[in-house]
Amino acid sequence: MAVGKGRLEEALRIADALLTRDATHIDALEIRAIVHTRRGERQRAEQTLRAAIAAAPDRCWHYADLARLLSAEGRRGDAEAVTREALAADPDNPDAHAMLGNLLVERAAPVPGAVHLRRAIALVGKHPVLIGALGHALLRQGRLDEALPLLEQAVAATPDALLPAAHLAELQERAGRFAEADRHLQRADAIARRAGRDMLLQRTTLMVRMGRWQEALALLDAQDGMAGPALLQRGRLRDRAGRHAAAWADWTAGKAAIARASGRRYPAEKVADQASALTRFFTADRMATLPRAPVRGDAPQPIFIIGFPRSGTTLVEQILASHSAVRAGGELPFGRELRAVAANMAGGEERFPEGLASAGGDWSAKLRDLYLARADQFGLLRSGARFFTDKMPLNDLWLPLLRLAFPQSPVVFAQRHPLDILTSVMAHDMTHGFDCGYRVADAARHFALVERVRAAYGIAGIAMHTLRYEALIADQRAETHALMAYIGIEMEAAQLRFHERETVSPTPSYAQVREPLNARSLDRWRDHEAAWQPFLPILEPAIVDAGYAL
């Protein structure tokens, strides 16, 4: 009653009195959490909500309130952990499924995000918010035909909601239906203005797709105090206009702003320790003694596409998936999942990977079956294709586990000039590589580390086919033929017209891979050569070893 009437002090005194007699009084904990939240006392609210979870782990409300609180603070990893706790306590908690689904989509994991959103819909019905969220998840996967009716339903049911209108406009832009995109964006603009927001980034993205990039740049140049994503967009356009120093300044400022807002940070020491442990263990001698899973003839086989983000992994997938025997799987999270399972098989994190040497049973076959079971959940085993692609960037680290689980599966390494790769990384927001892409030094160090790890795996006998971006541009037919010979199937003519595929890639490359091959992005790094000079001591070994010049 006191809370409902806004008498927060009175409500807090009542709650404190009840908790003095019983520290686990769940109603009193709820009242205290509400009061602290409304007063902006977030640390106290968090403490109270965690106490409520400990007192009544079978309830639902405190998980949801805590996850919302943490998400509002930018602590999305902590919020995700809370939603997983909620589902461990109650697998049929619809709020937890919905929140986890949205959090996964936000951190660029739309496929598992869609799984949780579908579960929430199965539990509570086709609520417009859930339908819109699922449409967003499918949009992020590039499954535009499936996302379209869901987003249209959400817009019709909630005409004053910004997100479904904005997502519908984005879908139409990605599909190349620019007039429809503009119509929906005007609607989203009106909603945003009423809330004191703007659609500047999406508006300029549409203008660029329509060939009006100079107008988009002029619009962005006139803005002050832009958020990180808009700074990245302006930087890309300034770079296109030849204003390279200003572009680099926008990229570094934009990345720093995103990192501050999201709390993303590259754990350099932890990653280096993990990489060292992996390369010490997975040697040629060790790989010869570890169990290899037999091929399962009842399921299509994965083709692993590895490489750093912006190296051409999306392009390779488009070429492969243009073949009638190959289905695009996209950025599948199974590699990291196998690593977590393998750690348990080894006896825990502290014994991974060394403990695998004494792990009992045919653990590689268990990893294979887990991977295929997850692929089946994602609908990849029922397409009738012989192969499906797994193009998660930087799966390179888990390559020994993937090779032991699938000893006959093709591995394709997308290679490109390292400085071209990293210049593109700086121009885009991406969370791959343990959030290495938010500082130039971190991106350079992680690139060099991954190159050393992959080289060590090659020495250990893990074979792969290297598809060099520059060679592909020089002779598309010959390189595509060599790629398919490695896969073991005949090249098809459609693969030379990969840009005509109707499916839209969910990555930042979605517009580029709908164009024929071109050389526009070759040697782009030279426009920023001065900015790269301080980092060449880190990168030069990888550049030289790959056969590139400075």
Per-residue pLDDT tens over the stretch 163-175: 999 999 999 999 9
Average pLDDT of the segment spanning 303-319: 94
> What does the alpha-carbon distance between residue 239 and residue 247 come to, in Å, rounded to a whole number?
5
- Residues 216-234 pLDDT 10s: 999 999 998 899 999 999 9
Output the pTM of the full model: 0.84
Residues in the chain: 550
> What does the alpha-carbon distance between residue 40 and residue 23 come to, in Å, rounded to a whole number?
23
Average pLDDT of the segment spanning 386-405: 94
Answer yes or no: is pLDDT of 3 > 70.
no
Q: pLDDT band at residue 66, thresholds of 50, 70 and 90?
A: very high
The closest alpha carbon to 424, from 319, 316, 509, belongs to 509
> What does the alpha-carbon distance between residue 219 and residue 207 come to, in Å, rounded to a whole number?
10
> What does the alpha-carbon distance between residue 526 and residue 239 come to, in Å, rounded to a whole number?
12
> What does the alpha-carbon distance between residue 160 and residue 535 come to, in Å, rounded to a whole number?
49
Backbone angle region of 114, left / alpha / beta, with phi > 0 → left and psi within -120 to 50 → alpha:
alpha
Average pLDDT of the segment spanning 423-431: 94
> What does the alpha-carbon distance between residue 429 and residue 262 come to, in Å, rounded to a whole number?
12
For residue 72, CA distances in Å to 14, 66, 95 come to: 28, 10, 16
The whole-number pLDDT of residue 521 equals 84
Answer yes or no: is pLDDT of 6 > 70.
no
Q: What DSSP character marks residue 304?
A: E
> What does the alpha-carbon distance between residue 480 and residue 466 come to, in Å, rounded to a whole number?
12
The whole-number pLDDT of residue 512 equals 56
For residue 412, what are the β-bridge partners? 305, 465
> What does the alpha-carbon distance between residue 509 and residue 498 come to, in Å, rounded to a whole number?
13
> What does the alpha-carbon distance between residue 367 and residue 40 come to, in Å, rounded to a whole number?
46
Q: pLDDT band at residue 315, thresholds of 50, 70 and 90?
A: very high
The whole-number pLDDT of residue 1 equals 52
Answer yes or no: is pLDDT of 5 > 70.
no
Answer yes or no: is pLDDT of 388 > 60.
yes
Residues with Cβ < 8 Å from 48, sequence gap 6 or more?
Answer: 29, 32, 33, 36
Answer yes or no: is pLDDT of 201 > 70.
yes
Provide, rounded to the nearest whole percent, the portion of the chain with pLDDT above 90. Answer: 77
The whole-number pLDDT of residue 445 equals 97
Average pLDDT of the segment spanning 91-118: 92
The whole-number pLDDT of residue 330 equals 87
> What does the alpha-carbon distance between residue 246 and residue 124 come to, in Å, rounded to a whole number?
50
> What does the alpha-carbon distance between residue 199 and residue 166 come to, in Å, rounded to a whole number?
8
- Residues 16-54 pLDDT 10s: 888 888 888 898 888 888 888 888 889 999 999 999 999
Greatest CA span in the chain, whole angstroms?
79
Tokens of 267: 């754990």
> What does the alpha-carbon distance between residue 363 and residue 377 come to, in Å, rounded to a whole number?
21
Residue 358: Cβ-neighbour burial (10 angstroms; 0-12, 13-18, 19+): exposed
For residue 213, CA distances in Å to 179, 207, 236, 243, 482 come to: 17, 6, 10, 14, 37
> What does the alpha-carbon distance between residue 281 and residue 456 come to, in Å, rounded to a whole number?
11
Answer yes or no: is pLDDT of 204 > 80.
yes
Mean pLDDT over all residues of the chain? 92
Say how far residue 357 (Cα) sits from the centre of its chain.
Answer: 32
As separate numbers, helices (DSSP H) first and strands (DSSP E) second, the chain gives 28, 5
Round the CA-based radius of gyration of the chain to a whole number and report it.
25
Residue 84: Cβ-neighbour burial (10 angstroms; 0-12, 13-18, 19+): middle
Answer yes or no: is pLDDT of 94 > 80.
yes
For residue 392, CA distances in Å to 124, 184, 260, 398 come to: 32, 32, 25, 11
Least confident of 239-248, 291-300, 323-332, 499-508: 499-508
Which parts of 175-305 fold into alpha helices (H)?
178-194, 200-209, 213-221, 228-240, 244-262, 268-281, 284-289
> What does the alpha-carbon distance between residue 403 and residue 5 come to, in Å, rounded to a whole number?
63
Place of tokens 């964006």: 185
Answer yes or no: is pLDDT of 309 > 60.
yes
Which domains are assigned to the chain?
Answer: 268-517 (3.40.50.300)
Select, from the ranges 104-108, 118-122, 333-337, the one with the highest average predicted confidence (pLDDT).
Answer: 118-122
Q: pLDDT band at residue 508, thresholds of 50, 70 and 90?
A: low
Average pLDDT of the segment spanning 406-425: 97
- Type and span of the H or E element at 305: strand 301-306
Q: What DSSP character marks residue 395?
A: G
> What does the alpha-carbon distance between residue 333 and residue 75 come to, in Å, rounded to a whole number?
21
The whole-number pLDDT of residue 507 equals 53
Q: pLDDT band at residue 2, thresholds of 50, 70 and 90?
A: low
